[in-house]
Structure 1
């Protein structure tokens, strides 16, 4: 039985065949879906305008884990954190997500304190204001204050060697670029989404594959992006997002070092 998010995407697109055509896959593939697969969420969102929060709330608002995979509690938490960062980096949070974030509570650990500061920011900002902030930071008229791409941070230019190396590694993991998704894969949101899928078992891969993805394509630059987000002149809501992301990547780096 299809879930409501997939049903609505098919309806908006004008049928299974049209949805399949728009995202560049065959109609039988869509016919076999019970819900939008994790690796197709961004593409379906792009061609239908339906938020990933509606398409896959399990990935983007609750647990970013596969239903049929035994995932330990630590990896569940990692998947959640990456999915949250992917969502906040891909678009301005709607009012429903702001309300969820405002209810975040935690203990006195550094990561939970970062969650608390994010909750405070979410509780004092409106969707209109945060949408404008997101536009100014990441889009802008011509370009935003920040360019959240690996190629830019590592070479100073877009669509450079870091992107081609990433594409090779994604192909090795069986992750394909959707035909109608024009965002380069080295966007920070896409990389966090991939790590969420790896940690939560939605993308089958070994622990070593997770570590290599992190060390090759995230660790060399994304911490600097989050630090720049913390210090960006136009950041208000996204300042605690940057602090959370930077701290989480530091924890990830230490954990991968210990298990290597």
Structure 2
């Protein structure tokens, strides 16, 4: 079955956050963002309006920044020969330590879904960008990996993203070197808040079976 328009839009937002969190945007991506259409939210949906506003600010910011400046900003925030200023990993936010038991639990869930870190990738699986890429794969599937139902998507999100993403994006937005990434953090937080709300109110078609 084809992916619905709604699910494709969700997957595209997850993919964009993953791309921006794992590497600085190049000129091509910045130009695409600057030319992107606005999104229209339900006027009565507070989370949707916040996402609409955050998306507008991201596209506006992309139109006035230079890729080399954003690359330097990314390095100042996330890359260091010692301890980086920011560590966007679930284990760090949940326990204060890198590569801790939340990562082990995530790896168990990923193994059950037949998903593993690609060979040569340096970031751990509980990096916020890697988790957003994992959500994209759950929504759309990938070569050798089947699309997963909403119940599986909800389980991974609620267990491995929801408990800590807000603290992570707040830390990015509040970091002194953050300029473009302050806007990225606001967009990521707004989108993930929409997802959290949607999963909170969603119930399986057969709630008795799911329970």
TM-score by length of 2: 0.86
Matched residues in 2 for 1:102 and 1:147: separation?
28
Instruction: Quote the residue 1:213 is aligned against.
Output: 156
Matches within 5 A, 1:33-52: none
- Number of residue pairs matched? 192
Q: By how many angstroms is 1:141 displaced? A: 3.6
Larger RCO of the pair (alpha carbons < 8 Å, separation 6+) = 2
Deviations 1:22-65 (A, max 9, x none): xxxxxxxxxxxxxxxxxxxxxxxxxxxxxxxxxxxxxxxxxxxx
Instruction: Quote the residue 2:28 is aligned against.
Output: 96
Q: By how many angstroms is 1:127 displaced? A: 1.1
Over the residues paired in the alignment, what is the CA RMSD in angstroms?
Answer: 1.4
Q: By how many angstroms is 1:107 displaced? A: 4.6
Q: By how many angstroms is 1:181 displaced? A: 2.5
Out of 150-159 and 219-228, give the one that drifted further: 219-228
Matched residues in 2 for 1:176 and 1:211: separation?
19
**SS of corresponding position for 2:109:** helix
Deviations 1:120-150 (A, max 9, x none): 1111111110000000111134132210101
TM-score by length of 1: 0.71
Matched residues in 1 for 2:15 and 2:127: separation?
14
Instruction: Quote the residue 2:171 is aligned against.
Output: 228
Tell whether 2:77 aligns with 1:145.
Answer: no
Matched residues in 1 for 2:119 and 2:23: separation?
20
Matched residues in 2 for 1:77 and 1:258: separation?
19
The gaps in structure 2 that reach 5 residues or longer are 42-48, 204-211
Taking structure 1 as reference, are residues 207 and 131 closer, same or farther at Cα in structure 2, changes over 3 Å only?
same
Out of 165-174 and 115-124, give the one that drifted further: 115-124
Contact kept, 8 Å, 1:226 with 1:242, in 2: the verdict is: yes
Contact kept, 8 Å, 1:195 with 1:210, in 2: the verdict is: yes
Q: By how many angstroms is 1:201 displaced? A: 3.3
Contact kept, 8 Å, 2:173 with 2:186, in 1: the verdict is: yes
Matches within 5 A, 1:112-131: 112-131=52-71
Tell whether 2:115 aligns with 1:175.
Answer: yes
